[in-house]
Amino acid sequence: LPGKYEELCQRLAEYSNLGAAAGLLHWDQQTYMPSGGGPARARQLATLTRIAHETLTSPETGGLLEAAEREREGEPEGSVAWATLRMARRDYEQATRFPADYVSELARVRSEAQEVWARARAANDYASFAPWLERIVELSRRAADYLGYADEPYDALLDQYEPGLVTAELKATFTALRSALLPLLKAVLARRTEVDDSVLYQPYAVDAQRAFGESVIRDLGYEFERGRQDEAVHPFTTSFSIHDVRITTRFNPNWLSPALFGTLHEAGHAMYEQGIARELEGTILASGASLGVHESQSRLWENVVGRSRPFWHHYFPKLRQAFPEQLARIDEEGFYRAVNKVSPSLIRVEADELTYNLHIMVRFELELALLAGDLAVGDAPGAWADKMEEYLEVRPSDDTEGVLQDVHWSMGVIGYFPTYSIGNLLSAQLYAKAVADHPTIPEQTARGQFGQLLGWMRENVHRFGRTYFPRELVEQATGQPVGGQSYLDYLRAKYSEIYDLG
């Protein structure tokens, strides 16, 4: 007779299956679905999402969870049963804290606010979006109350995306990072004319871009037998199983960087999912530990590896074979510098490595102030522009390239942006430990071999899936708490050299 734990796992597997089916519908919507399919697809997704939510939150699931916890008390730490029960408890508690009327109100506001935001952004009309942002801030305050928190409401929102991360800790990390980044950025900007990246802005045939990108990620270790790449307007990675993890990209025929580095980025996310231990297939543990840990893997391959000198030592000759005319007048060193040019800009998604986290800090500080009521929604555009000027020495001339640029707030998502920075910090922290354990990793990279680095990530990060919380995982993997020191060391070494800062 199956025990209560097996029964619980059966139910959680159904919950995961429903999520994967919804994921497939969503993937199709973003890649191949004709636009006429939109309304029906929205209904189908709503139905699947509702059934999945009911499966997780039903009183039967709650009863099974309690019974299974009693039945399996004392399972060894780190075992599949221990982790399944711990994460099932967390998911169940989070999902059942919100009253049904709140859930449906949030869904309604989200879908309308996104449409209003898209129009407002196109028309540079913040005033039309402001009442919706007002409602979203209010709904976020309520969410924090339902979820509960120890110190401040923002803690509850952060915890949804980065379990265990608290606001006070994040503030301290950001403050330390900023006080080191700003002088470095100033020094780089004083010499900004020394790097020319015009080589990246030329006609690059899309088919050749695709072929080159796919050959690189095959070398990195992305398995096409368990994945595929398609095109999407907003690139993303999605997993229906450990054995079916798909990525998407977007090509710009006149700019090499978006598809090339975007493909490396998404392949990083995907290799994480493909590297989860097979025994976790179909369980609620078969996903990443958090958004921040996930982003550490994408940033690792996109930036720490993909914008490194050893990487281009190997790949520049191959890229020049693919694009002989475009790259006729530049050498390996010039190309390496071009892909690392620092240039403060208004748009987060186009930011270089040195300025990216400052974009996140602007959003984090505004979110905190909005949530606390210290900043009125009507004053957000001005506060945004002032912060951008203070940190990045650029000031948006309108709200389209200022406060309206990102979709997140219109989706009702507050507390999410910091996970991008956590990912950057962790990418350097994990890489530093991998190289300490295997000092030949850079030499391997220079030969187009990535087995040691990927193997280290598999062994210390990927295989666990969601078995551990991010803090536990990172301390086990690196022997250190999550922090910014490795990232700062990495940026200082790289940019002092490129910009000859002495």
Active-site residues, by number, are 266
Query: CA separation (Å) from 337 to 182, 498, 500?
Result: 21, 7, 12
Looking at the Cβ atoms of 155 and 273, the one nearer to Zn ion is 273
Helix, strand and coil percent figures for the chain, each rounded to 5: 70, 5, 30
Q: How far is the CB of 27 from Zn ion (least distance, A)?
A: 16
For residues 97 and 147, the answer to whether their CB atoms sit within 8 Å is: yes
Q: How far is the CB of 298 from Zn ion (least distance, A)?
A: 4
Residue 343's H or E segment, with its range, is none
Nearest to 340 by CA among 188, 502, 179: 188
Looking at the Cβ atoms of 140 and 298, the one nearer to Zn ion is 298
Q: Long-range contacts of range 89-93, CB-CB < 8 Å, 24 or more positions apart?
A: 89/65, 90/163, 91/56, 91/284, 92/56, 92/57, 92/61, 92/62, 92/65
Looking at the Cβ atoms of 61 and 298, the one nearer to Zn ion is 298
Q: Which residue is nearest to Zn ion (CB)?
A: 298
Looking at the Cβ atoms of 265 and 337, the one nearer to Zn ion is 265
For residues 242 and 25, the answer to whether their CB atoms sit within 8 Å is: no
Looking at the Cβ atoms of 201 and 356, the one nearer to Zn ion is 356
Q: How far is the CB of 349 from Zn ion (least distance, A)?
A: 10
User: Environment class of residue 85 by beta-carbon count within 10 Å: exposed (0-12), middle (13-18) or buried (19+)?
Assistant: buried
Token pair 């711990």 is found at: 86
Q: How far is the CB of 233 from Zn ion (least distance, A)?
A: 16
Token pair 């900007």 is found at: 189
Residues in the chain: 502
By three-state DSSP, how is residue 453 classified? helix
Q: How far is the CB of 236 from Zn ion (least distance, A)?
A: 8
Kindly state the tokens that stand for 212: 């080159």
Q: How far is the CB of 14 from Zn ion (least distance, A)?
A: 28
Looking at the Cβ atoms of 263 and 298, the one nearer to Zn ion is 298
Q: What are phi and psi of 202, to 5 degrees?
A: -145, 170
Q: How far is the CB of 213 from Zn ion (least distance, A)?
A: 16
Looking at the Cβ atoms of 64 and 232, the one nearer to Zn ion is 232
Residues forming the site for Zn ion (CB under 5 A): 298
Q: How far is the CB of 424 from Zn ion (least distance, A)?
A: 11
Residue 268's H or E segment, with its range, is helix 257-274
The strands making up 244-249's β-sheet, listed across from edge to edge, are 229-231, 244-249, 237-241
CA 23/CA 29 separation, integer angstroms:
10
Looking at the Cβ atoms of 153 and 213, the one nearer to Zn ion is 213
Calculate helix-pair angle for 153-161, 353-372, nearest 10 degrees: 140
Nearest to 184 by CA among 425, 394, 354: 354
Kindly state the tokens that stand for 260: 């090339």
According to the 3-state scheme, what is the secondary structure of 219-288?
HHCCCHHHCCEEECCCCCEEEEECCEEEEEECCECCECHHHHHHHHHHHHHHHHHHCCCHHHCCCCCCCC
